[in-house]
Amino acid sequence: MIKIELYQYQDKQYTYIKKNYLLIKKAQLYFYQKNYEQSLKFFKEALQKNPRLPGRARLGLGYCFYMLKKYELSKRAFQRVLQLDSQVFESHLGLAILAYKRKDYQGYQDHLNKAFQINPNNPLVLYYIAEFYYLQQDSDSVQKIAIQAIQNLNMLPKIINEQEKTKVGKRAYRFDFFDLKSRLYFMIGNTLHKEQQYDQAFKRLEEIRSQCFENDKELILETYKHLAYLQSKCALGQTKLSQQYEYYKKALQYNPKDTESMLECANHLTDTDQRESLKYFENALEILKEKGEKILPELYNNIGVLRLSLNQFEGAKEAFGKALDLANIDIISNEDEKQNQKFFMYGQIQFGLYA
């Protein structure tokens, strides 16, 4: 009889633990889907059903509060984790980020040091340490630590590394692994770029494109823009320039309203495809207007020149007029000279009209 009751008790305990485990798994799933409200709901439910949840199981509360911009609650959640288990280094990383957000740079550094003391080989810890040195513009330390972090990532269980071999695997498994790896390469590439080691920087950023393609749009956008710039620095020639243009086009796929990439594409096509170049310039102009950002007279001038070459005389006249209206008074201080330039531009258009 006692044995039966003991088995029944153990069975209930197992079911109870299993339910809590499933709640936490659901919370994690919603978190990865960026549904932080639902994720928080399941984390709280798991905690209500088992107030004795271990520290590490409570980490999700801190993450959710942070993503929902409830920073004070996030701080308390991470602190509570450390009260229950002082070895949870992720809590120190969370508190470091919160300290940096408050501009408490000493607190930021202290928590990073504590995380490093607990787990000096963890790639995530090394990433944040590398980022700290990146902010300090200590290129040597950044490269050394970031490379070590990448090596440690590559030493993770074989099942993770095997997924690198196929694109399908990349989509299906360990998004965070590839995201972290790409950010490390991005950091190394940037430091090499600043040191004018363009060939090496190009190779590092190419790593992101070749094996870490499943990243957030902002990171990939910046990567392609860097690659395009470095392509122009590494070598000259039509092939390289063509590749540079392709990188800017790729950047536009991730952000169709990125005016910087748009203007680079326009400049690249000025001599080879004037209609397409004009389209890029005009699209950039419309986006700048939408955003209420400053428009330089050079943009209108480029549009005017292209319209003129395409026999769009009225449009060219309008663009040149706006370019002159925007021209800085310091550049053309003499009103007569300004009018002379205006008449010169209009004269070009008139010659076109009656040629």
Identity of the residue numbered 309: S
Identify the band that residue 117 occupies on the pLDDT scale cut at 50, 70 and 90.
Answer: very high
Give whichever of 137-141, 240-244, 335-339 has the largest mean pLDDT: 137-141
**Per-residue pLDDT, 5:** 42
Residue scoring higher pLDDT (154 or 31)? 31
The long-range contacts involving 107-111, CB below 8 angstroms and separated by at least 24 positions, are 108/132
**Per-residue pLDDT, 19:** 58
Rounded to two decimals, what is the model's pTM? 0.57
Q: Is the pLDDT of residue 95 over 60?
A: yes
Distances 136 to 109, 114, 132, 133, 188 between C-alpha atoms, Å: 12, 19, 6, 5, 14
**Per-residue pLDDT, 27:** 86
- List, as one string, the DSSP characters of 231-288: HHHH--SHHHHHHHHHHHHHHHHH-TT-HHHHHHHHHHHTTT-HHHHHHHHHHHHHHH
**By percentage, how much of the chain surpasses pLDDT 90?**
19
**Per-residue pLDDT, 144:** 92
- Residue extents of the structural domains in the chain: 1-117, 120-208, 238-286, 296-355
**By percentage, how much of the chain surpasses pLDDT 70?**
66
**Per-residue pLDDT, 47:** 87
CA dihedral defined by 158, 161, 91, 107, rounded to 10 degrees? Answer: 130
The CA distance from 65 to 44, in Å, is: 11
Q: Is the pLDDT of residue 309 over 60?
A: yes
Hey, what CATH topology would domain 1-117 get?
Answer: 1.25.40
**Per-residue pLDDT, 165:** 44
The CA distance from 217 to 110, in Å, is: 32
The CA distance from 25 to 224, in Å, is: 35
The answer to whether 229 and 260 have CB atoms below 8 angstroms apart is no
Query: Which of 68-77, 158-167, 208-217, 260-269 shows the lowest per-residue confidence on average (mean pLDDT)?
Result: 158-167
Q: Is the pLDDT of residue 227 over 60?
A: no
The CA distance from 167 to 236, in Å, is: 33
Residue scoring higher pLDDT (38 or 258)? 38
Orientation of helix 36-49 relative to helix 59-67, angle to 10°: 150
Q: Is the pLDDT of residue 78 over 90?
A: yes
Identify the band that residue 94 occupies on the pLDDT scale cut at 50, 70 and 90.
Answer: very high
Structure tokens at 5: 């009751």
Mean pLDDT of the residues in the chain: 75
Query: Which of 3-12, 317-326, 328-337 shows the lowest per-residue confidence on average (mean pLDDT)?
Result: 3-12
Mean pLDDT of 56-80: 92
Identify the band that residue 26 occupies on the pLDDT scale cut at 50, 70 and 90.
Answer: confident
